């Protein structure tokens, strides 16, 4: 199934999603030939009643001021989004919602469940709670974009697939298949000396499967040599000048607490390139 309906989750508080991320998301939608909806939530700070009643300062005015800041960020982000979509001739829609700081991620999940793919950005300065909530709660693939300037435009020339014959890796390949079919080259990466991988159902067999979809495949194998798996994946993807890394997301959620696998935690903490994660 082609990816035709994409959601862009925008952060409006405490700091807005960078405009660079908006441009990257629109560029990805253009590459996929997809409709792109941008959702932004007016965020309201939630304070316990005891704090409000016992304070000597006007906290209600502070809450109102922060909500206005969120509204202003929505206005600016939506204007930037519509301008970028018009430049790229991408069919687009803006969605506005509102909720408390604890409610916003759940609102985003509700919309993400009804889209083929959700794009969300991650910054080193903020907890990746939004991305984690969407990834675990939507049931759909999540494309994580880094929030830092980069010289290279969004492209699909080289895509690296992290492969360990696990269920989540297989799910990630299936979810990414429409993207892999558009890629110039797909590199299947297996990491040896890290954990046992079934050699009967190996990367070679996955390559044959993808080849039947007309996908050009290169097989790569890298030794872990006691390095963290996230570090190995990032280093190899960057050495290949990859435009995108596809990987399964390990872990589970319990309310707001997310228990992540090592590679997933590493990539969400500081994504070195766009990453498609599937749980």
Whether the per-residue pLDDT at 204 is higher than 70: the answer is: yes
Mean pLDDT value of segment 10-32: 96
User: What's the CATH architecture for 5-146?
Assistant: 3-Layer(aba) Sandwich (3.40)
List for the chain the helix, strand, coil content (%; round to 5): 40, 25, 35
Q: Which two tokens stand for residue 228?
A: 């963290």
Q: Between these two residues, 250 and 100, which has the higher pLDDT value?
A: 100
Q: Distances from the Cα of 189 to the Cαs of 14, 35, 159, 263, in angstroms?
A: 37, 31, 10, 14
Question: What is the band of 74 on the pLDDT scale with cuts at 50, 70, 90?
Answer: very high
Determine the pLDDT at residue 208.
96
* Predicted pLDDT at 252: 55
How much is the pLDDT for 254?
53
Between residues 67 and 242, the one the model is more confident about: 242
Average pLDDT over residues 244-255: 76
| pLDDT exceeds 50 at position 84 | yes
Percent of the chain with pLDDT over 90: 66
Intrachain domains 5-146 and 158-278 with the same fold: yes
The answer for residues whose C-beta is within 8 angstroms of residue 80's C-beta and 6 or more apart is: 19, 22
List the chain domain ranges.
Answer: 5-146, 158-278
Highest mean pLDDT (candidates 27-36, 45-54, 121-130, 255-264): 27-36
Strands (E), the chain: 5-10, 35-44, 92-100, 117-122, 142-146, 158-162, 185-192, 217-223, 244-248, 251-254, 257-260, 275-278
pTM score, whole prediction: 0.91
pLDDT for position 239: 96
* pLDDT beyond 50 at 80: yes
Mean pLDDT for the chain overall: 88
Q: Which CATH superfamily is domain 158-278 in?
A: HUPs (3.40.50.620)
- The answer to whether residue 210 scores a pLDDT higher than 60 is yes
Q: Per residue in 137-166, pLDDT tens? A: 999 999 999 998 776 889 999 999 999 998
């Amino acid at each position: 199934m082609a990816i035709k309906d994409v959601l862009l989750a925008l952060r409006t508080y405490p700091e807005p999603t960078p405009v660079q991320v908006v441009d990257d998301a629109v560029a990805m939608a253009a590459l996929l030939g997809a409709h792109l909806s941008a959702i932004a939530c007016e965020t309201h700070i939630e304070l316990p009643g005891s704090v409000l009643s016992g304070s000597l300062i006007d906290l209600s005015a502070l809450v109102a001021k922060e909500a206005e800041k969120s509204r202003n960020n929505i206005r600016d982000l939506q204007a930037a989004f519509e301008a970028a979509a018009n430049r790229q001739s991408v069919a687009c829609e803006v969605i506005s919602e509102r909720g408390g700081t604890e409610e916003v991620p759940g609102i985003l999940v509700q919309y993400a469940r009804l889209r083929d793919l959700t794009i969300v950005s991650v910054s080193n300065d903020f907890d990746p709670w939004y991305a984690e909530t969407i990834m675990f709660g939507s049931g759909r693939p999540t494309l994580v974009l880094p929030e830092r300037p980069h010289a290279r435009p969004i492209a699909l020339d080289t895509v690296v697939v992290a492969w360990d014959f696990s269920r989540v890796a297989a799910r990630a390949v299936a979810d990414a298949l429409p993207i892999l079919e558009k890629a110039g080259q797909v590199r299947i990466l297996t990491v040896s000396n890290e954990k046992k991988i079934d050699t009967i159902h190996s990367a070679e067999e996955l390559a044959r499967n993808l080849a039947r979809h007309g996908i050009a495949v290169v097989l790569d194998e890298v030794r872990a040599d006691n390095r963290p798996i996230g570090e190995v994946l990032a280093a190899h993807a960057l050495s290949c000048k990859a435009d995108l890394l596809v990987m399964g997301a390990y872990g589970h959620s319990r309310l707001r607490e997310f228990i992540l696998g090592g590679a997933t935690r590493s990539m969400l903490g500081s994504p070195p390139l766009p990453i498609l994660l599937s749980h």
